Amino acid sequence: MKFDMLMGLPSPRYSTVAAMVKENPAMRFSYQVLELARRYPVSPEADRLTRVWAAYYQKILKGEQSPENAMASAADEWNQVLKAYR
């Protein structure tokens, strides 16, 4: 499915999304799944964990960290957050 189409209809966000993806091609995947995704907090502190992941994802997009290092750091932070629930 193209990120600009949903059931054959153009997304109302197409022009904004297209401009963002053109400037930052790594964002394409996020917008491809955006129409299909929904938040499903299956763990405690889901909102906090999402914010941790998002912060490291931004570092990847900005080229500040490699994907491997950023996700390893995010995993470390997740483990610290989730320690209280183990």
Q: Which mean pLDDT values do the consecutive 10-residue runs of the chain (86 residues) have?
A: 45 65 74 66 80 94 94 95 85
Q: What is the pLDDT of residue 6?
A: 44
The residues spanned by each domain of the chain are 1-38, 40-86
Q: Which residues have C-beta within 8 Å of that of residue 9, sequence separation ≥ 6? A: none
In this prediction the pTM is: 0.53
Q: What is the dihedral of CA 77, 63, 30, 46, to 10 degrees?
A: 10
**What are 48-67's pLDDT values in tens digits?**
998 999 999 999 999 999 99
